[in-house]
Amino acid sequence: MSDNAVREKLYYSIGEVARMLDVQTSAVRYWEKEFDILKPKKNRKGNRMFTPGDLRNIKIIHHLLKEKGMTIAGARKKMSENPEGISRNMEVIDSLHKIRDMLTNLRDTK
C-alpha cells in the first residue's frame, strides 16, 4: 500500500463524517431522518457509527443537495430512480477530484 493510500475504517463517527463533508453534525442527523438508505449502527453509548457504505451514500446525498442544488425530495427521487448510475458518477467525480489534487500538488512543489 502506498503512503497516499487511505485505509478504509470499519466505522466512522458522525463527527468524522461531518468533517469529511464540511457540514454540521446536525445536517448528517437530519439526512439520516430524511433518507431511508442511511441506517447507521449505534454503539452502547448511542453514538452513530457509519459504515463505508453509509459514507458513500452520505457523499451521494451531499453531492445531490449541496453541489447539484437539489431539494430533499428531488434527491430522494433521483436516488430511487437510478442508484447505480449515481454511484458510478460519484466514483468518477471522486477520481477527478483526486487527479486535480495531485496535479495541484505537483504544480505547487515546483
Confidence at residue 3, expressed as pLDDT on a 0 to 100 scale? 39
Helices 83-109 and 52-62 pack at an angle, to 10 degrees, of: 90
Q: What is the pLDDT of residues 45-92, one digit of tens each?
A: 999 999 998 998 999 999 899 988 999 999 999 888 877 777 777 778
pTM: predicted TM-score of the whole model, two decimal places: 0.73
Half-sphere exposure of 56 (CA within 13 A, CB side): 16
Q: What number is the average pLDDT over the span 28-42?
A: 93
Confidence at residue 61, expressed as pLDDT on a 0 to 100 scale? 93
Write down all domains in the chain, each with its CATH number in brackets.
Answer: 12-81 (1.10.1660.10)
Q: What is the pLDDT of residues 10-20, one digit of tens each?
A: 899 999 999 99
Half-sphere exposure of 89 (CA within 13 A, CB side): 14
